[in-house]
Chain A
Amino acid sequence: MSQVFLGMPAHSSPGVGALRGDQTFPQAARTALADPQLRRNLGHATGTIRAKRLAVVSELDDWEQLRLAGQAIKAATMARLDDHLARLEQEVTARGGTVHWARDAVEANRIITELVQATGADEVVKVKSMVTQEIGLNEALEQAGIAAWETDLAELIVQLGHDTPSHILVPAIHRNRSEIREIFLREMPGVDPDLTDEPRRLAMAARSHLRRKFLSAKVAVSGANFAVAETGTLVVVESEGNGRMCLTLPDTLITVMGIEKLVPTWTDLEVFLQLLPRSSTGERMNPYTSMWTGVSPGDGPQDFHLVLLDNGRTAVLADEVGREALHCIRCSACLNVCPVYERAGGHAYGSVYPGPIGAVLTPQLTGVEQNASLPYASTLCGACFDACPVRIDIPSILVHLRARHVEEYAAEHRLPSAESLAMGAAAWVMSSARRFGFVTRTARLGRVLGRRRGRIRSLPPPASAWTATRDVPLPPTETFREWWLRTRGES
């Protein structure tokens, strides 16, 4: 008889969904870096969106106050996450909705598949949901004989191109207009053969392709940008109107949401509805925001289900430093300012969550050892922190996760890695003033190893393992201790 231990935080379902790539980041990035078209597409797109974001952010003279409020609201949400979730459940249920809880991807996929089967439908329309990519919902539905139609233009491009998303906000950012035209001509039944690559023509082709689907769909699956605990209100922010179509026209609506996407009060939305559109699309407000609470008689789906998903989030919550990654509102500003993302692109991260936020969130959801290269996919330049509307200190979490990886690796293999050897040596040296003085003086010998720009590019083994992926700054010609002795006289 097995005893189930209740309440042990667990990582995401292994082998299901899109949190693990087939390659490490350095391997995948090398492929991306060799693709000049991809780099041009990425450079153009991130540059454009950075400029737009900057323009609308500078319109608000209280932007910093909004960021501070957003950060505090998210911290307050996490500190009482259990209470807020229970409240949300109570409010949604009281207004005619049904709440389901899913420990992991497998359980969520099973719940959703059964809900769709219960309606008798063999297809669903889908809107804007990273979390359903995270859990591999489309594949699970397909196995049950249910077709899932992505309706967001970018996700349609990705789906028709048999491709994977590469950006949180613009999943097809790696494709240019002529590539999109080719995909549409090849994959869209009944498309006008004279379709040009003009963005307007391409968008209109998508409109007519999906129109019938929207008007006849019986079931929709959506994500959520926010949920308000005290009122039970769900929020979807979008641009094209495909969200409104999915949220309004079908009889049944199934919304899947990570347990972290809550805000406690209605008032809190006033902060996030300012932070999100300006940070993501660089607009003052996105064209459409839909909010609904349970079921509204005579208006919209009369059968509403909310699936609350853990899939590793409680494990993230257990790390006091790392849990800040759960504050993310998926605006993608950190991707657009990241020099590593701009060159490597989203696919290199091997996860539905790319860029700086992916580098801190993905390894925590899966367990660091399963995505060990991601915390190193950064130069720690700090641009992501400056851009983040909720002030997530991504560089500090990266450093923290690197340390965690080193410790967990050492504990598992009972072998010190080069990094932990170096850390151990540093601790031994720094614990004694005499040793420290000796070492800093001899370290200056390292200067002769320096090649250019004051960096040491390689050190002899075992420290070569460290310098294989990074440069070490040159030691100064005079140490601080020597300077102190020289300028302050005898000690």
Chain B
Amino acid sequence: MSTPPSARDEILARIRTSLGDRTSTVEIPRDYHRTGGSPVGSPELLELLTDRLVDYKATVHRATPADFAAVLASVLESAGRVVVPAGLPDGWAPPAAVVDDGSLSWAELDAVDTVLTSCTAAAAETGTIVLDGSPDQGRRAVTLIPDRHICVVRADQVVRGVPELLGRLDPRRPLTFISGPSATSDIELQRVEGVHGPRKLIVVLVSD
């Protein structure tokens, strides 16, 4: 008696039967916009990003390198208890902040009000910010459980659209794309901001 084929072998064999002879190859037309024309971090991109973030109910604060510390301090004033990832640049975290070394429980994260991080890249056209779990962004739970997320975006991280954004990412890292705060439209298609994810998204956009 022969052993029955594994599901894997059988499904792959079914696919081969169904496809039959395969001679043609499919050409993929990529004449959609793959680059946006505007240079990375240019003033028009920062304008667009701000506009799109505000449209999806995020709050945006503009800062220059010179007044960044002051702007961040004022945003943090009403932030309550703050948690930060271990690799945040020196001087960003308020003195009383909890540092996540990877051992905080979900209940402990639920007890803080705000998380402060940087980001990996942002796309202006869709108002999207991406986190990739780098030391200045932390593990995913840290930016998920607290109710308020303050995210610092540098001008040189801002590209126009989705193709350029993906081009800057490492697919093998855990990636979170954030476009405005959590929302639902499940009740009569009426948009309500803030369901399970952080209900407030505050972006500090730093440019010269």
A residues near B, CB below 8 A?
A: 1, 4, 6-10, 41, 44-45, 48-49, 62, 65-66, 68-69, 72-73, 75-76, 78-82, 85-86, 89, 95, 100-103, 107, 151-154, 157, 170, 172-173, 176-177, 180, 199-200, 202-203, 206-207, 210-211, 214-216, 228, 231, 233, 239-242, 244-245, 247-249, 259, 266-267, 269-271, 273-274, 277, 281, 283-293, 296, 298-300, 308, 310, 314-315, 317-318, 323
Contact = CB atoms under 8 A, between A and B. Distances in A.
B144 to A, nearest CB: 5
A224 to B, nearest CB: 14
A173 B145 CA distance: 29
Interface stretch (B28-36, B64-72, B76-84): B28-36
A241 B14 contact: no
Given A233-B172, A283-B179, 7 more contacts: A1-B1, A45-B189, A49-B189, A76-B26, A153-B184, A199-B187, A277-B126
Contacts, number: 256
A172 B18 contact: no
Nearest to B30: A69
Interface in B152-208: 161-163, 166-167, 171-190, 192, 194-198
Nearest to A215: B106
Interface of B: 1-2, 4-19, 22, 24-34, 52, 56, 102, 106-107, 110, 123, 125-128, 133, 139-141, 144-145, 161-163, 166-167, 171-190, 192, 194-198
A242 B175 CA distance: 16
B202 to A, nearest CB: 15
A157 B186 contact: yes
Contact of A259 (B11, B32, B126): B11
A284 B28 contact: no
* Chain B binding surface, main DSSP class: loop
A216 B141 CA distance: 13
Given A249-B106, A284-B127, A242 B196 contact: yes
B139 A299 contact: yes
A153 B182 CA distance: 12
26 contacts: A4-B4, A44-B188, A62-B32, A69-B28, A73-B28, A79-B25, A85-B11, A102-B7, A107-B7, A151-B196, A153-B186, A203-B186, A207-B194, A207-B196, A215-B107, A240-B197, A267-B163, A270-B34, A274-B162, A281-B185, A287-B181, A291-B174, A292-B175, A298-B102, A300-B140, A317-B14
Contacts of A170: 185-186, 189
Contacts of B106: 215-216, 249
Contact of B179 (A73, A172, A247, A285): A285
Contact of B178 (A65, A207, A288): A288
Contacts of A211: 110, 196
Contacts of A274: 32, 161-162
